[in-house]
Amino acid sequence: MKMKKIMSMALAGIMVLSMVGCGNKAESATDSAAADSNSGKLVIWTLSEDLENFAKHYMETNKDVQIETVIIPPADYTTKLSAALRGKAATPDIIVGEPQMLPDFEDAGYFENLSADPYNADEYSDKLVDYVWKAGQDAEGNVRAISYQATPGGIYYRRDLAQDVYGTDDPAVIGEKFKDYATIKQTAQEVRDKGYRIFSDTGSLRWFAITDPWVVDGKINISDEKKEYMDTAIDLYQNKLVAFAPEWSAAWFSSMAGPIPMNAEWQELDEVDANAEQTQVFAYALPSWGSLTIRDNAKDNAGNYGVCAGPTSYFGGGTFVGISAYSKNKAQAWDFVKYVTLTEETSKWWAETSKGDIVSMKSVLEEYKDKENEAYGNQKTYQFFYEEAQKIDYTTVTRYDDQLKVFYGAAIESVQKGEKTKEEAMKEFYDKAKSAYPELSE
């Protein structure tokens, strides 16, 4: 799903849904799957409207199948799914998860093993972008869920502001202005000298802190790269080089269309001092779903954005689709999962229907690579995101990442605002991390 479904706040990073505890592995029910008939009713539990659209399209060509799609708010999804499947409920048949949810769902035995007979999903591994395929595997390499989309990230920048500051809006040139943290600090000053701000908020930097794992051999890994991320965020904040408009705030959305007051924070815009300093946001760091968010909020700036690479290639979010281990209709469920995630015609249909979602099927990405995107100055955004997706190294991802990012973001924020010293903030970070994950060491 698009990350509009994952709400994040300032430096706190991605808000992590409450995860299910580890339970006993469910017995595999693949032996009964072959005996299921490819007819009847499927029940889908999902986090967004995407699968409802897929279900309607599927039923157009599968007239004998009924599908009930239940959309559950992200804040409630884990709790409701856990309650149903701990009781081994026969429905839902189709379940989903975002990458940070999958390890806990897999440990609890909720997902059917799609690598086993009669599914043999491994036969399809070369069809999808590599990191997407790996994200749906459990610790033993068995496929548990598959995604129809890829969510590589980039930096979206205002072309008109780039022309004003640098005399060009060429993505290759602007990308060099974001190639590492030291350059980002320099760019932030150059942008401010023209009256703009490099990012809406320092939380934008968190996306790039993925080049090495947050946990290595059971030890929390605060690398030099993560320390540089902290120092850069503090510098940008304390020197007023960002607009102080956190992601998902009213000011953040408004900034995509034009000037906003400085220091709006989480206030409604009509509550901000009318005499406050105004600024414009130069760039946004977001996964590919962000291209839709910016497009839909740009108003008169529609078509006035470009996208370039940042200091690292990253991804964020994605809906991974699987079969409940307790479903009584596994054969039909597998047919639907294949239709959504592994069928080229469906992938093309979704690329057009979604009007910008980046699909995970390599053949479709290859076919669309020369397609120009009017919302981004006719840039070939599919080509850009395809290239970024292929650079993502999923081996750096751990099950602890999202919660540790939240704790680390809170530590950074406390230093930025002068509430704690760096040493005090890091002590609190480690205390929170070890409280949440007693198995980790400092």
Residue 59 lies in a domain: yes
Higher per-residue pLDDT: 429 or 17: 429
Question: Could you tell me what percent of the chain has a pLDDT over 90?
Answer: 82
Confidence at 265, pLDDT banded by 50, 70, 90: low
Confidence at 219, pLDDT banded by 50, 70, 90: very high
Higher per-residue pLDDT: 263 or 112: 112
Q: So what's the pLDDT on residue 3?
A: 38
Q: So what's the pLDDT on residue 269?
A: 57
With contact defined as beta carbons under 8 Å apart, do 125 and 362 qualify?
Answer: no
Which CATH number characterizes residue 138's domain? 3.40.190.10
Q: So what's the pLDDT on residue 4?
A: 35
Q: pLDDT tens across 430-442, in order?
A: 999 999 999 999 9
- The secondary structure of 8-64, three-state, reads ECHHHCECCCCCCCCCCCCCCCHHHHCCCCCCEEEEEEECCCHHHHHHHHHHHHCCC
Residue 442 lies in a domain: no
| Averaged pLDDT score across all residues of the chain | 89
Confidence at 212, pLDDT banded by 50, 70, 90: confident
Could you list the residue range(s) of the whole structural domain that residue 301 is in?
A: 153-314+397-436
Residue 391 lies in a domain: no
| pLDDT over threshold 70, residue 13 | no
| Rounded average pLDDT over 269-293 | 85
| pLDDT over threshold 90, residue 279 | yes
| pLDDT over threshold 80, residue 371 | yes
Residue 130 sits in the same domain as residue 209: no
Residue 375 lies in a domain: no
- Per-residue burial over 370-395, b if 16 or more Cβ lie within 10 Å, else e, is eeebebbbebbbbbbbbebbeebeee
Confidence at 49, pLDDT banded by 50, 70, 90: very high
| Rounded average pLDDT over 97-101 | 93
**What distance separates the 2 farthest-apart alpha carbons in the chain?**
71
Residue 302 sits in the same domain as residue 418: yes
Beta strands 219-220 and 305-308 are unpaired
Residue 304 lies in a domain: yes
| Rounded average pLDDT over 307-313 | 96
> Any idea what the Cα angle at residue 244 is, between residues 392 and 233, rounded to 5°?
50
Residue 136 sits in the same domain as residue 232: no
| Rounded average pLDDT over 403-417 | 95
For the entire predicted model, the pTM comes to: 0.86
Q: So what's the pLDDT on residue 413?
A: 95
Domain count of the chain? Answer: 2
Residue 241 sits in the same domain as residue 109: no
| pLDDT over threshold 90, residue 420 | yes
